[in-house]
Structure 1
Amino acid sequence: MANKFGSEGSVNRLKEKEKLVVLIGPTAVGKTKLSIDLAKRFNGEIISGDSMQIYKGMDIGTAKIKNIEMDGIPHHLIDIKQPDEPFSVAEFQQLVRSKITEIARNGKLPMIVGGTGLYIQSVIYDYQFSDAPSDDSFREILEKRAEAEGNEQLHHELMQVDPESAGRIHPNNVRRVIRALEIYHCSGKTVSDYQEKQVPELLYNTAIIGLMMEREQLYARINKRVDSMVEEGLLPEVEKLYKQGIKDCQSIQAIGYKELYEYFNHRVSLEEAIVQLKQNSRRYAKRQLTWFRNKMNVEWFDMSKIADSIEFEKKFTEISTYIEGKLKIKSNT
C-alpha cells in the first residue's frame, strides 16, 4: 500500500531486491541485545548504522558493542576511521550498499543497526526526479567538464549551491552530481526542495523495525547509561583524544565528547559536564524518535515492559514473526 514513504512495489519487484533488516531506535532503548538475537535467528550480519562508531578509540562514549557482546556475529563499519578523519553521508551510503550486496551474496541476511537516521535513510531510499526540469545542453557541458576537470570540481560546485545534496552524493557518482546541478541550474531549487514532494523508492526488500519506550523510562535508562560510561572510563577515553590534539573535527562533535572537552578546556566543572551530557543525550533521543517517525516507514515495537527474560522473549518472537512475514523468510529455529 502506498504511503508518504512510497509504494514498496509489486510482489515480483520485491522478490528481485536484496532482503534487508533495519533496526532503529533512540539511544539506550535496547537495540544491541535484540540485534544479536535476531542475527542468530536469521543467519545475519550486522552493519553499524551509527555515524560515530566508525571512529577508532571512541568506544565508551559511542556505546560501541564489545567483542564479547558480538557473540560471534560479524559486525561491519566499526573502527574504520581515525578520529581526525572526516566521514560523509555519501561515503557511508557507498560503503553500506556495497556491504549489503556482499553479505547477501554470501547467503547471509544484512542487518543495519543504529540510530543515525539521515545516514540510514540515504542507504535504503532512492529518489527519482523525472518531473524536475532538465537541460540536455547544460548536462552535456557538465559531462565534458567532468572528463576534463575531474569529478571533484563539479562536486565542489554542488557544495556551493546545495551543500545538503553534496553531503549525500559521493563525488564519484558523477551522474547524480550533474543531475543535482542541472536541477538547480534550471529551477533555482535544490534537490532537497524537490525531495519534499517526491515519493522515495525502497531499494531493498526491507523490514524497518523501530524500538520505542515510555519517555520517563527511556530517560532513566539514558541517565544510567551515562553514569555507567563514566564508571567504565569515559573520562580517560576523552582525555586521551584531547591530549592527542584531536580538536575541531567531526568526531569530537559527538555527544559524550564535546561536553567533556568543555571540562578539559576549563569552561565547566566535571559535574556540570556530566549533567550536560545527560541532557544532550535525552534531547538527542527525542530528536531521533521524531526524525524516524517523520522520515521513514517504521514498524514500531514498544520495549517499555521488557522487565524480565520472559517478556523479552515474547517481544523477540513478535519482532521475529514480523520479519518472517515481511521478508518471506524462515528463521533458524
Structure 2
Amino acid sequence: MRISMLLLNQTSPLLASLDIPTERLKMEPLLSRRQKEKVLIIMGATGVGKSKLSIDLARRFPAEIINSDKMQMFEGLDITTNKITEEEQCGIPHHLLGILNPNDDFTAENFCEVASLAIDSISNRGQLPIIVGGSNSYIEALIDDKDFIFRTRYDCCFLWVDVSMPVLHSFLSDRVDRMIENGMVDEVRNIFDRTADYSKGIRKAIGVPEFDEYFKEETFLDEENRKKALKKAIQKIKDNTCELACRQLKKIHRLRNVKRWNIHRIDATEVFRKCSKPAEEAEEKRVVGPSTTIVAEFLYNFVSMEVPAPVADIRDHITQCLVT
C-alpha cells in the first residue's frame, strides 16, 4: 500500500510524487500514544563516515535509514553528491534517497513532511528510524518544530561523528580526486545548460557551479589553458567542500552548546589516520563499538562497562542481559 490521495491532500502535492511505504501507518491522535517512539540521528560534517556508521548500526539493530542530505534526495549526479550505492546499502532499506526531480525546489518544510511520514511508517513496523545526513538545517527543522510536536512524540538519540579538521580536509581533497577519476566531470557535463537555474535543485550541489564556469570557457581555450582551467575548477570544489565541512561543524556546535541538544560525540580521527586493517580495527574500537553501546542504552536501557563485541544481531545479547 502506498500513500493514499486523502493523506496527500492533507499534507502537500509534493508527496504525491514520492514513493514512501506507509504500511500500518497510524493516524491516531497524538495523545493516544502511551509511549514515545525512538529515533536515532547521526550527524557530522561531510566525509566523516556517517552513512557507513548508519549501515553498521542497522546491521546490529532492527532499523531502516532515512536520508537527510538535501542534495542526495535528488535523482542523478550519484558521483558528485556521493550517494551511497546499492551494494554499500547491504540490503538495509533506505528512504528519501534519489526521490526528487533534479529541478525540484525542496525546502526544509517539505523535508519535515516526508521525513515524518517515513519515521511513522518505520516505527509502526517495529524498526528503528535512523536519520543520517549532513543537512543540519533539515534536522533542526524536524526535531525542533515550532510546536515541539516531534519532541512530544519521539525520544531522540544524537550521534556526532567528528574528525579533526586538518585530517578531514586532507581526506576531502583526496575524495574529490577519486570522484574525478570515477567520472565526475562527464557526469556534471551531462546536465550542463547555459540557461539553467542554478539557485535550486541538484544544480546547487558542490561541483556543479564550479564546473559550469569551466564548461563555458573550455571551447575557447587551447589544451594547456584548458588543463589549467580544469585544475582551477577542481581546486575550487575542494575549497568549497572544506568550507561546507566547517559550516556543518559550526551548526553542530550551536545545536550542542546553544540549544543544548544532548549530542554524543564520537571521535573518528584515528580511523582516518590509519590504513587497511588497522583502520578497520580503529573504526570498531573508536566508532562502531562506542556507538553500539550508546544505541543499546538508548533502546533497551542497557548499561555495560565494556563495548559489546561485534555480532551479527545484538538483540539476542541484549535480551539475555535484560532477562538475567
Tell me if structure 2 keeps the 8 A contact 1:48–1:76. Answer: yes
Tell whether 2:267 aligns with 1:302: yes
Deviation at 1:263, TM superposition (A): 1.0
In structure 1, what is the equivalent of residue 208 of structure 2? 257
Q: Secondary structure at the match of 1:72?
A: coil
TM-score (norm 2): 0.73
- Superposed CA deviations along residues 222-279 of structure 1, whole A, max 9, x for unmatched, are 0011001111111111111115964334121211211111111228811111000000
Deviations 1:195-214 (A, max 9, x none): xxxxx946521111001111
Tell me if structure 2 keeps the 8 A contact 1:60–1:232: yes
AA at the equivalent of 1:217 = V
Query: Aligned-pair distance for 1:54?
Result: 1.1
**Within 2, Cα distance between the matches of 1:295 and 1:227?**
32
CA contact (8 A) 1:39 1:73 kept: yes
RMSD: 2.4
Deviation of 1:79 (Å): 1.3
Question: After superposition, what is the alpha-carbon deviation per residue over 1:90-145, rounded to whole angstroms, capped at 9, x for unaligned?
Answer: 1110000110000010111100010000101111223349xxxxxxxxxxxxxxxx
- Map of 2:9 onto structure 1: none
Q: Does residue 317 of the first structure (1) align with residue 289 of the second (2)?
A: yes
Q: Which of 36, 39, 44 is the aligned partner of 2:58? A: 39
Q: 2:130 aligned to 104, 107, 111, which one?
A: 111
Structure with greater contact order relative to length (CA < 8 Å, sep ≥ 6): 1
Query: Structure 1 regions of 5+ residues with no counterpart?
Result: 1-13, 130-175, 177-199
Question: 2: distance between equivalents of 1:320 and 1:35?
Answer: 10
Q: Does 1:281 align with 2:241?
A: yes
Distance 2:193 2:89 in 1: 31
Bigger shift: residues 107-116 or 238-247: 238-247
CA contact 2:36–2:153 (8 Å) conserved in 1: yes
Q: 1:271 aligns with which of 199, 223, 231?
A: 231
1:55 to 66, 74, 77: 74
Pair 1:230–1:202, CA change in 2 (3 A): farther
Q: Secondary structure at the match of 2:75?
A: coil
Partners of 1:227 and 1:15 in 2: CA distance: 51
Aligned-partner Cα distance in 1 for 2:93–2:125: 13
Say yes or no: does 1:232 pair with 2:182. Answer: yes
Structure 1 CA distance for aligned equivalents of residues 193 and 146 of structure 2: 44
SS in 2 for 1:211: strand
Counterpart Cα distance in 2 of 1:60 and 1:107: 33
Equivalent position amino acid for 1:311 in 2: A
The answer to whether residue 103 in structure 2 is matched with residue 84 in structure 1 is: yes
1:74 maps to amino acid: P
Does the 8 Å CA contact 2:36/2:152 hold for their aligned counterparts?
A: no
CA shift in 2, pair 1:108/1:244, >3 Å: farther
Structure 1 vs Structure 2: percent identity of aligned residues?
Answer: 34
CA contact (8 A) 2:198 2:209 kept: no
| Structure 1 equivalent of residue 170 of structure 2 | 220
Matched residue SS, 1:247: coil
Structure 2 residue 197 is matched with structure 1 residue 247:
yes
The alignment covers a number of residue pairs equal to: 252
Q: 113, 117, 124: which one pairs with 1:94? A: 113
Give yes or no for the alignment of 1:69 onto 2:111: no
Q: TM (normalized to structure 1)?
A: 0.71
Q: Distance in 1 between matches of 2:115 and 2:151?
A: 17
The 8 Å contact of residues 125 and 203 in structure 1, kept in 2 or not, is answered as: no
Of 136, 150, 161, the match for 1:211: 161
Q: Is the 8 A contact 1:23 1:113 kept in 2?
A: yes
Maintained 8 Å contact 1:263/1:270? yes
